[in-house]
Chain A
Amino acid sequence: MNVHAIAAIYRFEMARTFRTLTQSIASPVLSTSLYFIVFGTAIGSRMGQIGGVSYGAFIIPGLIMLSLLNESISNASFGIYLPKWSGTIYELLSAPVSAIEAILGYVGAAATKSVLLGILILVTARFFVPYHIEHPFVMVGFLVLTAATFSLFGFIIGLWADDFQKLQVIPLMVVTPLTFLGGAFYSISMLPPLWQKIALFNPVVYLISGFRWSFYGVSDVSVGISLVATFGFLLACVAVVWWIFRTGWKLRS
């Protein structure tokens, strides 16, 4: 195992985050704060409770997930796309670095940033709405697992993309709509029966439901199913990345 390479990639990527703090941290925290102000404080004060939880507190797990998914994908996809775009990828390809080591470095750094951001949003939420966490270890587990899974997904997008438009299309056109429709702002039990069934095909429902359960002990689907679905997606992403490095698809000519 090339531990020095993993550490070098990880430090390099983390340094990029701290160099672009406004873009990496301040911007998502600000936009999430606006959600809290609009939906949590202004509109939320006029809405009833959902599952015994005030609306402002109810949307916290969904909003954290919204940022977590977007930032995990964005961090990891940009991290590997940038060297492809600038041509510096030659160094990674000619280095004694295996697929797993590259993943640990790039995805590890992207997931770390996302987890830090999730924690920061959680702290920020305290300024707007009161909340509690019933299962803090499960909450942290979901946070880390989701960040790692979607960082891997972002890594795949970064490897696949050959222009900046492709880099943005899946987060904007697929992930964000799925998150909004995945129960970030409502419980899927509020939907008509047919739409409740359709919603179960949305993988983000399982993430938000499981994460919300760790806060308030209420969920749309069983927490066990949420965990299995998240692990399943994680394994699928690992398999795809492993295949990409083995075959050199989009990397080696």
Chain B
Amino acid sequence: MHAEAAHAGPVVSIKGVGKTYKSGHTALKNIDLDIRRGEIFALLGPNGAGKTTLIGIICGIVRPTSGTVTADGFDVLTDFRRAREAIGLVPQELSTDAFETVWSSVSFSRGLFGKPRDNAHIEKVLRGLSLWDKKDAKIMTLSGGMKRRVLIAKALAHEPRILFLDEPTAGVDVELRHDMWEMVRALRETGVTVILTTHYIEEAEDMADRIGVINKGELILVEDKATLMRKLGKKQLTLTLQAPLEAIPEALADLPLTLADDRHCLTYTFDTQAEETGIAALLRRLNEQGIDFKDLKSEESSLEDIFVSLVHGARA
């Protein structure tokens, strides 16, 4: 494929990809997905949904049963060299060369991906991941979090244009997790496309430009995060009452109100997409009913709420 054409389309294009293992287990069913150049894409799904299989197919570790995948414009099977040169992979498992030093392991990765030795780049990567002080340490002597950093350094050693992070913050402490997301943001600034899977949905909510939800091998949904939140997100207005209420008055029965068990809180749920939220009318009608409140707060559904409802919806 011509270089310009390769850079015009999606950075990863997945068409009709399916995977059935020899055991008969179908891990993926007819997946179609385009990843845009330079975005952070979060792939969410419960355990066994097919996330790692999909990443494995794109990276060349797993062979698809059907369909085609291109990375940076190159077919991952027929033009595997150019496709794989573009990709860096941080696997879910902490698989490391235990007896090697950090420096030699990261340098090895750069060579393996066809790049000439560049000590300055390796130093930059190690410093960026706070590994420079550990460059001569054997990997077996490092903590789990540090090993995770080494895996990221190895994936970045050959300057990939697409970075896959498969559960990168699993088992990592809060400080390191924040460092990693800072690094991901910095990579995006340099034009690197980042595709991540994570169990920490708040991270996807915080980081991703787009979200894909996969369940039982099927891609249930792909959406801009903001649009997804807007489409499926609900807002709630919670009023803390001056005096407890025995029941919601008949005159307010037409409103989407719920009374908390302690009778002190009234919750009003409304659609974020609707032209009128109805809050002004609600407050007026409460006043007419003589219901006073001492506090109010509004809350938006989290991505986790949306994710859970999507997956449960698919199961139903």
Give residues in A with beta carbon < 8 Å to B. 2, 4-5, 7-9, 11-12, 15-16, 19, 83, 86-88, 90-98, 248, 252-253
B54 → chain A, closest Cβ, in Å?
A: 13
Q: Does B249 contact A (CB under 8 A)?
A: no
Known contacts A5-B113, A8-B108, A253-B63; is-contact A94 B89 (Cβ 8 Å):
yes
Chain B residues numbered 21-67 whose CB sits less than 8 Å from any CB in chain A: 21, 56, 59-63
Instruction: Report how far A93 CA is from B56 CA in the complex, Å.
Output: 10
- Among B59, B98, B99, contact of A94 (Cβ-Cβ < 8 Å): B59
Residues of A within 8 A of B113 (CB): 4-5, 95-96
**CB-CB nearest in chain A for B85:** A96
Residues of A within 8 A of B154 (CB): 91
Instruction: Report how far A90 CA is from B109 CA in the complex, Å.
Output: 11
Contact call B112/A86, Cβ cutoff below 8 A = no
Interface-centre pick from B56, B63, B93, B111 (highest chain A CB count, 10 A): B111
Residues of B within 8 A of A7 (CB): 111
List 17 extra interface pairs beyond A88-B96, A248-B63, CB under 8 A.
A4-B110, A4-B111, A4-B115, A5-B113, A5-B114, A9-B111, A9-B112, A11-B108, A11-B111, A86-B97, A86-B98, A93-B59, A93-B60, A93-B61, A94-B84, A253-B21, A253-B61
Contact call B112/A91, Cβ cutoff below 8 A = yes
Q: Does B231 contact A (CB under 8 A)?
A: no
Contact call B97/A88, Cβ cutoff below 8 A = yes
Residues of A within 8 A of B100 (CB): 12
Known contacts A7-B111, A94-B59; is-contact A12 B104 (Cβ 8 Å):
yes
Contact call B114/A96, Cβ cutoff below 8 A = yes
Give residues in B with beta carbon < 8 Å to A. 21, 56, 59-63, 80-85, 87, 89, 91, 93, 95-100, 104, 107-116, 154
Contact call B95/A4, Cβ cutoff below 8 A = no
Residues of A within 8 A of B104 (CB): 12, 15
Instruction: Report how far A7 CA is from B60 CA in the complex, Å.
Output: 22
Residues of A within 8 A of B98 (CB): 86
Instruction: Report how far A91 CA is from B116 CA in the complex, Å.
Output: 17
Residues of A within 8 A of B85 (CB): 96
A75 → chain B, closest Cβ, in Å?
A: 16
Contact call B114/A4, Cβ cutoff below 8 A = yes
Instruction: Report how far A145 CA is from B230 CA in the complex, Å.
Output: 68
Contact call B99/A19, Cβ cutoff below 8 A = yes
Contact call B95/A90, Cβ cutoff below 8 A = yes
Contact call B61/A252, Cβ cutoff below 8 A = yes
Residues of A within 8 A of B99 (CB): 16, 19
Instruction: Report how far A9 CA is from B45 CA in the complex, Å.
Output: 36
Residues of B within 8 A of A8 (CB): 107-108, 110-112
Residues of B within 8 A of A2 (CB): 81, 114
Instruction: Report how far A5 CA is from B108 CA in the complex, Å.
Output: 8
Contact call B95/A252, Cβ cutoff below 8 A = no
Residues of A within 8 A of B109 (CB): 91
